[in-house]
């Protein structure tokens, strides 16, 4: 059976690797020109039952433990006046450390790539569309005019999937907020104050309709994220010159002018471009009629905003489960049902969290929530 996987992100590569572990070859068509072609983004926490389970199925548990940072789970959460709302410190010993350890996204991708034959990933091969040939077979068209035929096609090509139209008309919609990412380089040596605020893991602060967070990565950087409730065309209408990072930083600081100066020092410590992106999501609970010979996984199937922090975990679980079904000649319908059931509550949580964290009086609501969870309030 010839399997083509569109997209070599974490989902597509996990699928290819678990197939390989069961003696099945797959061709991964990846749009990026190579593994280093694009900045891959920050650190990810992998859960025991999703990301870590998938890596066990891929035979990569030991490799994962070597790159994972349990202490990265440390977190502090403040309100925008500087009041501490919550702090979590990871134990130095014991299995509890391995609940949701952090690992850098490029290191995870490398772990998977190193465990695949070089020839299985076709870099610089963007899928433009796919067409059914009957009997579950498909022809996959690639940029540059080439095409490939396959017996099974996996759409693991993320938010703007070119395979999704074969199964559903659904498209991602704007969630009412934008995210921004900036990077602090050489944090410990060059920016010790910012580094101390972030500690071994993550720092977050919540204001009305806006958040500021920062997360330590394993490569000496700290990634600073801003999220803001705003109109979809905000990057164009805000007057912030995103193509001039130094001036953009000054303008962004003005948006946070009433926040503690030590929090804003995080923005001062950043350098390089300001990445701004709309938060989009597919409809919660999206399902489609099973079509033989093709399916979707990960963001292509259930894109959600990062407010539940589960997208990478879900895509890896999807990739590994689908590979097991394909390798064992199982029913892809069952894989799809399980994926739909898993994704729906996560997508709901992501939408609810976005509403909560970017609402009026968000910090007070979050403080009540933690007090309720710890039994201090009804
Ligand atoms: C700021 C931010 C923070 C996040 N934090 C977390 C977190 O802490 N924890 C978590 O679990 N999740 C997190 N997520 C979500 C997570 O990043 C995604 O859910 C996950 O990366 C999805 O993986 P994927 O493989 O399905 O898709 P992608 O990562 O989008 O990979 C798709 C791949 O397909 C390729 N591709 C795209 N189009 C084509 C094409 N036409 N032809 C060929 N190749 C193509 C792309 O180049 C890419 O390599 C975060 C997301 C964001 C934006």
Q: Is 186 left (phi over 0), alpha (psi -120 to 50) or beta?
A: left
**Structural domain spans, the chain:** 3-68+102-172+283-355, 173-281
Backbone angles phi, psi at 65, to 5 degrees: -60, -30
* 2: pLDDT strictly greater than 90: yes
As a three-state string, the secondary structure of 130-183 is EEEEECCEEEEEECCCCEEEECEEEECCCCCCCCHHHCCCCCCEEEEEEEEEEE
Looking at the chain, the whole-number percentage of residues with pLDDT higher than 70 is 100
Position 311 confidence tier, pLDDT thresholds 50, 70, 90? very high
* 40: pLDDT strictly greater than 80: no
- As beta bridge partners, residue 34 has none
Q: Is 141 left (phi over 0), alpha (psi -120 to 50) or beta?
A: beta
Which residue from 101, 146, 315, 354 has its CB within 8 A of the most atoms of ligand 1, so it is best to mutate? 315
Q: Can you tell me which atom of ligand 1 is nearest the CA of 29?
A: 43
Can you tell me the distance from the alpha carbon of 99 to that of 92, in angstroms, rounded to the nearest whole number?
13
pLDDT score recorded for residue 296 = 98
Collapse the DSSP code of 41 into the 3-class scheme (helix H, G, I; strand E, B; otherwise coil) and give the result. Answer: coil
Which two tokens mark 34?
């190579």
Q: How many A from CA of 8 to the centre of ligand 1?
A: 9
Which residue from 306, 307, 347 has its CB within 8 A of the most atoms of ligand 1, so it is best to mutate? 306
> With contact defined as beta carbons under 8 Å apart, do 117 and 107 qualify?
no
**pLDDT higher at 140 or 144:** 140
CATH number given to 3-68+102-172+283-355: 3.50.50.60
Q: How many A from CA of 299 to the centre of ligand 1?
A: 6
Q: How many A from CA of 286 to the centre of ligand 1?
A: 18
Q: How many A from CA of 34 to the centre of ligand 1?
A: 16
Residue with tokens 């709309």: 278
Q: Burial letters for 65-81: b for 16+ Cβ neighbours within 10 Å, e otherwise?
A: eebbbbbbbbbbbbbbe
Can you tell me the distance from the alpha carbon of 355 to that of 145, in angstroms, rounded to the nearest whole number?
44
Q: Can you tell me which atom of ligand 1 is nearest the CA of 315?
A: 26
Q: Can you tell me which atom of ligand 1 is nearest the CA of 312?
A: 11
Q: How many A from CA of 171 to the centre of ligand 1?
A: 16
Domain 173-281, what fold? D-Amino Acid Oxidase; Chain A, domain 2 (3.30.9)
Q: How many A from CA of 223 to the centre of ligand 1?
A: 17
Can you tell me the distance from the alpha carbon of 151 to that of 5, in angstroms, rounded to the nearest whole number?
11
Q: In what order do the strands lie in the sheet with 210-216?
A: 84-88, 75-79, 202-206, 210-216, 222-229, 173-184, 271-281
Which residue from 141, 312, 343, 354 has its CB within 8 A of the most atoms of ligand 1, so it is best to mutate? 312
Q: How many A from CA of 35 to the centre of ligand 1?
A: 14
DSSP assignments along 325-345, one per residue: HHHTT--HHHHHHHHHHHHHH
Among residues 38, 34, 32, the alpha carbon closest in space to that of 143 is found at 32
Which two tokens mark 330?
């199982």
Query: Residues with beta carbon inside 6 Å of ligand 1?
Result: 6-12, 29-32, 44-45, 126-127, 156-158, 162, 179, 298-299, 306, 309-313, 315
Q: What is the pLDDT of residues 93-113, one digit of tens each?
A: 888 889 999 999 999 999 999
* 250: pLDDT strictly greater than 80: yes
Q: How many A from CA of 9 to the centre of ligand 1?
A: 6
**Rg of the chain (C-alpha set):** 21
Q: How many A from CA of 274 to the centre of ligand 1?
A: 19
> With contact defined as beta carbons under 8 Å apart, do 357 and 204 qualify?
no
Among residues 66, 69, 70, 72, the alpha carbon closest in space to that of 110 is found at 66
Q: Can you tell me which atom of ligand 1 is nearest the CA of 160?
A: 38
Backbone angles phi, psi at 225, to 5 degrees: -120, 135
Collapse the DSSP code of 303 into the 3-class scheme (helix H, G, I; strand E, B; otherwise coil) and give the result. Answer: coil
Residue nearest to atom 50 of ligand 1 (CA): 306
Can you tell me the distance from the alpha carbon of 29 to that of 122, in angstroms, rounded to the nearest whole number?
5
**Mean pLDDT value across the chain:** 96
Q: What is the pLDDT of residues 195-208, one digit of tens each?
A: 999 999 999 999 99
* 378: pLDDT strictly greater than 80: no
Q: Can you tell me which atom of ligand 1 is nearest the CA of 300?
A: 26
CA 37 to chain centre: 18
- Extract the runs of DSSP E, i.e. beta strands, from 207-349: 210-216, 222-229, 271-281, 294-296
Q: How many A from CA of 11 to the centre of ligand 1?
A: 8
* 356: pLDDT strictly greater than 90: yes
Beta-strand relationship, 127-134 and 137-142? antiparallel
> With contact defined as beta carbons under 8 Å apart, do 80 and 363 qualify?
yes
Q: Burial letters for 293-306: b for 16+ Cβ neighbours within 10 Å, e otherwise?
A: bbbbbbbbbbbbbb
pLDDT score recorded for residue 370 = 86
* 22: pLDDT strictly greater than 90: yes
> With contact defined as beta carbons under 8 Å apart, do 216 and 262 qualify?
no
Residue nearest to atom 37 of ligand 1 (CA): 157
Can you tell me the distance from the alpha carbon of 26 to that of 151, in angstroms, rounded to the nearest whole number?
11
């Amino acid at each position: 059976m010839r399997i083509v996987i569109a997209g070599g992100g974490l989902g597509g590569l996990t699928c290819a690797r678990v197939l390989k572990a069961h003696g099945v070859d797959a061709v991964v068509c990846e749009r990026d020109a190579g593994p280093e072609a694009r900045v891959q983004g920050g650190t990810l926490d992998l859960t025991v039952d999703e990301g870590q389970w998938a890596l066990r199925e891929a035979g990569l548990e030991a490799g994962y433990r070597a790159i994972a940072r349990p202490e990265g789970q440390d977190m502090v959460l403040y309100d925008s006046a500087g009041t501490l709302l919550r702090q979590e410190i990871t134990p130095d010993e014991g299995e509890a450390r391995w609940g949701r350890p952090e690992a850098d996204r490029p290191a995870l991708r490398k772990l998977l790539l190193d465990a695949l034959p070089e020839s299985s990933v076709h870099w610089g091969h963007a899928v433009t569309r796919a067409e059914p040939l009957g009997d579950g077979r498909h022809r996959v068209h690639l940029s540059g005019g080439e095409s490939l035929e396959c017996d099974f096609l996996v759409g693991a090509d993320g938010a703007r999937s070119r395979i999704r139209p074969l199964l559903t008309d659904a498209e991602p919609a704007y969630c009412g907020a934008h995210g921004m990412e900036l990077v602090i380089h050489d944090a410990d040596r060059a920016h010790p104050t910012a580094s101390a605020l972030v500690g071994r893991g993550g720092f977050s602060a919540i204001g009305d309709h806006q958040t500021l967070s920062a997360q330590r990565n394993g490569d000496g950087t700290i990634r600073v994220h801003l999220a803001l409730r705003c109109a979809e065309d905000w990057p164009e209408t805000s007057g912030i010159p995103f193509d001039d990072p130094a001036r953009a930083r000054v303008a962004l600081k003005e948006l946070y002018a009433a926040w503690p100066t030590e929090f804003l020092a995080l923005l001062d410590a950043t350098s390089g471009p300001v990445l701004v992106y709309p938060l989009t999501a597919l409809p919660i609970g999206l399902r489609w009629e099973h079509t033989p010979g093709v399916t979707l996984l990960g963001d292509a199937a259930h894109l959600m905003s990062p407010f539940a922090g589960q997208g990478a975990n879900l895509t890896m679980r999807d990739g590994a489960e689908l590979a097991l079904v394909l390798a064992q000649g199982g029913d892809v319908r069952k894989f799809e049902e399980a994926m739909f059931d898993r994704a729906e509550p996560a997508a709901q949580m992501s939408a609810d969290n976005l509403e909560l964290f970017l609402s009026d009086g968000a910090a007070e609501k979050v403080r009540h929530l933690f007090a309720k969870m710890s039994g201090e309030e009804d």
